[in-house]
Amino acid sequence: MEKYISVKELEDAALEKLPKNARDYYKSGATDEHTLAENRRSFQRLRILPRCLVGVEKFNLGTKVLGYEVSMPVGISPSAMQRMAHPDGELANVKAAQAERVIYTLSTIATSSIEEVAEAAPDAIKWFQLYIYNDREVTRELVTRAEKAGFKAIVLTVDTPLFGLRRADVRNKFTLPSHLKLANFEGHLSTKIHATGNGSGLNEYVNNLFDKSLTWKDIKWLKSITKLPIVAKGILRGDDAVKAVEAGCSGILVSNHGARQLDGVPTTIEALPEIVEAVKNYNVEVYLDGGVMTGTDVYKALALGAKMVFVGRPALWGLAVGGQAGVQKMLSIFRTELEYTLQIAGTPIVADITKDMVRHEFTYSKL
Residues with a known catalytic role: 257
The amino acid sitting at 194 is H
- Which phi and psi (to 5°) does residue 203 adopt? -65, -40
Interatomic CA distance for residues 229 and 124, integer angstroms: 17
What are the beta bridge partners of residue 349?
60
Closest CA to 89 of 346, 324, 271: 324
What is the three-state SS of the chain?
CCCCCCHHHHHHHHHHHCCHHHHHHHHCCCCCCHHHHHHHHHHHCEEECCCCCCCCCCCECCEEECCEEECCCEEECCCCCHHHCCCCHHHHHHHHHHHHCCEEEECCCCCCCHHHHHHHCCCCEEEEEECCECCHHHHHHHHHHHHHCCCCEEEEECCCCCCCCCHHHHHHCCCCCCCCCCCCCCCHHHHCCCCCCCCCHHHHHHHHHECCCCCCCHHHHHHHCCCCCEEEEEECCHHHHHHHHHHCCCEEEECCHHHCCCCCCCCHHHHHHHHHHHCCCCCCEEEEECCCCCHHHHHHHHHCCCCEEEECHHHHHHHHHHHHHHHHHHHHHHHHHHHHHHHHCCCCEHHHCCHHHEEECHHHHCC
Q: What contacts 68, CB < 8 A, 6 or more positions away? A: 103, 125, 152
Closest CA to 21 of 162, 160, 170, 163: 170
